[in-house]
Chain A
Amino acid sequence: MPQDMLLSRRAFLIGCSVAASPLLTPVTFAAAPGDNRLVVIILRGAMDGLDVVRPTGDRAYAALRPTLAAATGPALNDFFTLNPAAAGLMPLWDAKELAFAHAVATPYRGGRSHFIGQDALENGTGGENGDQTPSHDGWLNRALFLLPGARADTAVSVGQQRLLVLDGAHDTDHWFPVAESPLSAQGQDLMSAVNAADPLFADPFAQAQHLARAMDGEQAPKGKLAYGQLGGYVAERLTGAARIASFSFGGWDTHHQQAKTMVAQLTSLSEALLAMKAGLGRVWGTTLVVAMTEFGRTARENGSAGTDHGTGGVALLAGGALKGGRILGKWPGLADGQLLSERDLMPTGDVRAYPAWALRAMFGVTADGLQSTVFPSLDLGTDPGLLL
């Protein structure tokens, strides 16, 4: 089915003007896939889970983090406290719309390279050395084939950069405000014609045209994009046709002066989540957000008030659909002998299980589809009961 759809779409584009592209005039394949919304955030740079959700109840923690744990944050339960810079999220926690999975990691262990780690996280591979699945695509894109009624506008990546997690054979949307070109209609048609004839340019060009038109009247943001704004864009798409949205959020590679960087990072992340909630309004009640990072960081502070690349880390879950107010996962401990290679938080769970259970609970993707197509060799484990 997907293959045919792609072929016919390409054939359709050649010799046609962009205005007739299926992206602009939605072709009905089936009914839209329900009311649930899933947002996947890729936190690039390896977020320090031990600093975001602090195991202050673990007796080894304070000694491992002499300066990083100095400022204390609000208590999540009698064992974990939240980084004070994320205190803006406490209303979500109190409303049981926020949860964390601790001591999780992708199957890629020990290599600690950002890029292999991020590719592994987005590709969804089960390989320990980070080798990608043969298709070199994103797990969220593969999952679209298992969603009844998924269309080109069902899933959208938001932001300027390419996002591997949504890349692949299934058509998806890409959203980011850009300025509109002032060419005449005929000039635009000519430009479209030369671009449509080139296999590399045809699709991105058509989508670029679509972007420019859809933005008509809206102002492209100037300068640095505020994450609050980004959260707003995501909400805008999810209140329209999109049911799945994804974006990436970098800057977590805190080798030095981590405390200071964390303030900026966690403030921005909180802004993005809160803006999404505000923008979604009632739809927030059927929304689940999953934020994941490529790996955690060393249990010990390094020599420069930061941390180096580690293994076990934290995934964040949020949304009105979530049964939150919980720390999920199994705590491995931080004492001598409990760390991985005497340096990293020991992962006790596969981080992929959380988006997998989310896809199952929200869109009815079968266990078999999850384990064979979306996340190869994943052990789903027990159902964490993510939804209310």
Chain B
Amino acid sequence: MEAPSLIEEIRFGYGPRRGYEVSPGGLEPDRLLAQLTADDPAAAVWNRPSMADRMTELVQMRDDKMAGMDVKPKARQSSASMDLKKIEQGDAATFFARPAVATLGFVERLVNLWANRITVSNTSQGVGHHIQTFRDEAIRLNIAGRYADMLKATLWHPAMQVYLTQTDSIGPNSRVGLRKGKGLNENLAREFLELHSMGKGYTQTDVTELAKLLAGMVHDQNGPHVEKGRAEPGEKHILGQTYGEGKGQINALVEDVAHRPETAAAVAFFLARHFIADSPPPDLVQGLTATYLAEDTALVPLYRTLLQHPSAADPNRRKIRSPQEFAVASLRLMGLDGMEKGMLGFNKTSMMVPVYLANMGQQPFKPLRPDGWPEVASGWMTPPMVASRIDWATDLARATGDRVDPVALIDFALGDMASPLLRRAVAGAEQRWEGLAVLIASPDFSRR
């Protein structure tokens, strides 16, 4: 079976971008895997402030607050607080503008995929400062490494610690726990086992014991460590293993859990479901599970197994682009990055891409649940969300489509995967921009 011409771009990237060279056709696993070691020309542009820099600002902001600043009116606001606000506004653009201009589309897809598998969300105070570095430092740096290391990096990251309220957990028999009468918060312990790793095969006792092991973990300007005064003393018995105290023991636990067959099966299923089908082929999931266990949780062999499976080249596209993938693909089609100002029909100063994404159901950095954005079509297909996709397609087409040849754009966007019905419909539009709107709002364009 011949692979469709644009399958690498569409199934494993964000679609072809106007002005960029398009991959010469078919599916070649080595060509996609080479992206993982290629130089990314966008890296310098998107070099967002590091965690260390942000922590310095956060310490400054805390000090300012103690000194009575950071209160209304605005003139008295701490400059550190203003700096952070500006930084975070810039962060949000990386969710759509970076993939919109990316030459390494597979890399960008993997970053978003793993950042969704291990989710943090800007829903509670303090998470927002850290989401970008969670994506840059805990996820992006590990997409070609071992899943065990990604689990460690994400578990220790301040965004995760704050999001899943680990910062509140205190060993009940620790010095601080005894003095203040405070105790455990199981949130992170449970979601680590339920969502980030195993998904099943653990008990409530394992959760409670893991919460004891994690109590006192902290990541501040001194790096990741365990605060002795908040750590629960004594042995913890988790999944049949015994652990003591401290950072080394937490990391040993993560290694053990990462190598569990339940974790292997859960990661395999997630990866196969993301790229191939809402109900992925069982033999693919089994193959991925075996590779994961045989390769010490390394991810590149996992990608290779996926790309070599016949379903990877299947011309039948069973998945729906998420709102982010959909909006980015349409920006790439028109050669935009979503940061343009003064576009016809849009707000004068901004295209307001995050607002469109929110209406389609995917507000940047703010998934509604700790298991992340929906990974199946039904999560994106409520009538209000579909109506918002139509709105985006219509508004973008009206702003950019008055001089395009929409019929030629079908070939550029979809190659040999466009249906005859779509060709007829686009050709039948009474204006160029309406033809473009029909193309972008079509199921053909949303499938991958």
Is B79 an interface residue when CB atoms closer than 8 A count as contact?
no
- In-complex Cβ contact of A112 among B172, B190, B443 (8 A): B190
Which one, A115, A191, A207, contacts B441 given CB within 8 A?
A191
Select which of B186, B386, B391, B441 is within 8 A of A309 by beta carbon.
B186
- The answer to whether A114 touches B369, judged by C-beta atoms less than 8 angstroms apart, is yes
Q: Does B57 contact A (CB under 8 A)?
A: no
Within 8 A of A (CB), among B397-448: 398, 419, 421-422, 425-426, 428-431, 434, 437-438, 441-444, 446
Docked Cα-Cα span, A176 to B382, in Å, equals 10
B168, B204, B398, B422: the one contacting A306 at CB < 8 Å is B168
Against B, the Cβ 8 Å flags (1 = close, 0 = not) of A193-224 are: 11101101100110111111000000000000
* Contact segment of A178-186, A263-271, A312-320, A360-368: A178-186
CA distance A226 to B168 in the complex (A): 30
Interface 1/0 per residue, B32-73 and A, CB below 8 Å: 000000000000000000000000000000000000000000
Can you list 23 A-B contacts (CB < 8 A)?
Answer: A110-B204, A114-B369, A114-B370, A160-B382, A161-B361, A162-B379, A176-B382, A182-B398, A184-B430, A186-B434, A190-B438, A191-B441, A194-B419, A200-B320, A201-B443, A204-B383, A255-B168, A302-B168, A302-B184, A302-B185, A303-B185, A308-B190, A309-B186
Of all chain A residues, the one with the shortest Cβ separation from B428 is A190
Q: Does B255 contact A (CB under 8 A)?
A: no
Task: Among B369, B370, B383, B421, find the residue whose CB has the most chain A CB atoms closer than 10 A.
Answer: B383
Q: Is the CB of A194 within 8 A of B444?
A: yes
- Nearest 4 pairs of A and B residues by beta carbon: A304-B168, A303-B183, A198-B443, A207-B383
Whether the pair A341, B204 counts as a contact (CB closer than 8 A) is yes
Shortest Cβ distance from A335 into chain B, in angstroms?
Answer: 20
Interface positions, chain B 162-191, Cβ under 8 Å from A, are 164-165, 168-170, 172, 177, 181-187, 190
The answer to the question of B262 belonging to the interface, with a C-beta cut-off of 8 Å to chain A, is no
Contact between B388 and A178, CB atoms less than 8 A apart: yes
Which of these, A66, A114, A208, contacts B383 with CB under 8 Å? A208
* Min C-beta distance of B364 to chain A, whole Å: 16
B93 within 8 A of A: no
Check A162–B381 contact: CB distance below 8 A. Answer: yes
Q: Report A-chain residues with C-beta under 8 Å of the C-beta of B398.
A: 182
Residues of A within 8 A of B88 (CB): none
Q: Which of B419, B425, B429 lies at the interface centre, i.e. has the most chain A CB atoms within 10 A of its CB?
A: B425
B222 CB-CB contact with A under 8 Å = no
A204 CA / B437 CA spacing, docked (Å) = 18
* A interface majority secondary structure: loop
Complex alpha-carbon distance, A174 and B383, angstroms = 7
State the CA gap A341–B203 with chains docked (Å).
Answer: 12
Q: Are A306 and B194 touching (Cβ within 8 A)?
A: no
Q: Does B394 contact A (CB under 8 A)?
A: yes
Chain A minimum-CB-distance residue to B207: A112
Asked whether any CB of chain B lies closer than 8 Å to the CB of A187, the reply is yes
Among B184, B359, B384, chain A packs the most CB atoms within 10 A around the CB of B384
Q: A187 and B378: CB pair below 8 A?
A: no
Shortest CB distance A296–B (Å)? 14
Q: Say whether B437 contacts A191, CB under 8 Å.
A: yes
Does B111 have its Cβ within 8 Å of any Cβ on chain A? no
Q: Chain B 357-387, CB within 8 Å of chain A: the 1/0 string?
A: 0010100000011110000011101111111
Question: Do A194 and B184 contact each other (CB < 8 Å), given the known contacts A114-B369, A304-B168?
Answer: no
Contact A256 B185 (CB under 8 A): yes
* Given A160-B361, A178-B388, A181-B390, A304 and B383 contact (CB-CB distance below 8 Å): no
Find out whether the CB atom of B429 lies under 8 angstroms from the CB atom of A190. yes
CA distance A162 to B444 in the complex (A): 22
Contacts of A195 on B, CB cut-off 8 Å?
441-443
Contacts of B181 in A (CB 8 A): 66
Q: Tell me, in angstroms, the Cα distance from A195 to B359 when the chains sit together.
A: 20
Q: Are B172 and A211 in contact (CB under 8 A)?
A: no
A341 proximity list for chain B (CB < 8 A): 204
A303-B177, A309-B190 are contacts. A204–B168 as well, Cβ < 8 Å?
no
Q: Which residues of B contact A (CB under 8 A)?
A: 164-165, 168-170, 172, 177, 181-187, 190, 194, 204, 320, 359, 361, 368-371, 377-379, 381-388, 390-391, 394, 398, 419, 421-422, 425-426, 428-431, 434, 437-438, 441-444, 446
Known: A190-B428, A304-B169, A306-B165. 17 other contacts (CB 8 A): A114-B371, A179-B387, A181-B390, A183-B394, A186-B430, A187-B438, A194-B441, A208-B390, A209-B387, A211-B383, A211-B387, A250-B368, A255-B185, A256-B168, A304-B182, A308-B184, A308-B190
Choose one: B186, B382, B394, B442; the contact of A308 (CB below 8 Å): B186
Tell me whether B429 and A113 are in contact (CB under 8 A).
Answer: no
Chain A residues contacting B434 (CB-CB under 8 Å) are 183-184, 186-187, 190
Asked if B384 contacts A174 (CB within 8 A), the reply is yes
B384 cross-chain contacts in A, Cβ below 8 A:
159-160, 174, 176, 178, 208, 211
Give Cα A159–Cα B382 distance, bound, in whole angstroms. Answer: 9
- By a CB distance below 8 angstroms, the chain A residues around B444 are 194
| B435 → chain A closest CB, angstroms | 8
Q: How far is the CA of A330 from the CA of B356 in the complex (A)?
A: 48
A198 to B371, CA, bound (A): 29
* Cα separation A138 to B370 with both chains bound (whole Å): 22
Specify which chain B residues have a CB less than 8 angstroms from the CB of A174 in the assembled complex: 382-384
Q: Which residue of B lies closest to A185 (CB)?
A: B430
Q: Which residues of B contact A306 (CB under 8 A)?
A: 165, 168, 185
Min distance, Cβ B326 to any Cβ of chain A, angstroms: 12
Q: How far is the CB of A107 from chain B (nearest CB, A)?
A: 17
Task: Contacts A184-B434, A210-B383, A211-B384 given; indicate if A256 touches B443 (C-beta within 8 A).
Answer: no
B359 with A303: CB separation less than 8 A: no
B359 partner, pick from A178, A198, A204, beta carbons under 8 A? A178
CB distance from A112 to the nearest CB of B (A): 7
A211 to B446, CA, bound (A): 21
> In the complex, how many angstroms separate the beta carbon of B412 from the nearest chain A beta carbon?
18
Given contacts A179-B391, A190-B438, A308-B185, contact A204 B204 (CB under 8 A): no
Shortest CB distance A141–B (Å): 13
- Tell me the residues in window 142-161 of chain A with beta carbons closer than 8 Å to chain B beta carbons: 159-161
> Which residues of B lie under 8 Å from residue A162 when comparing CB positions?
378-379, 381-382
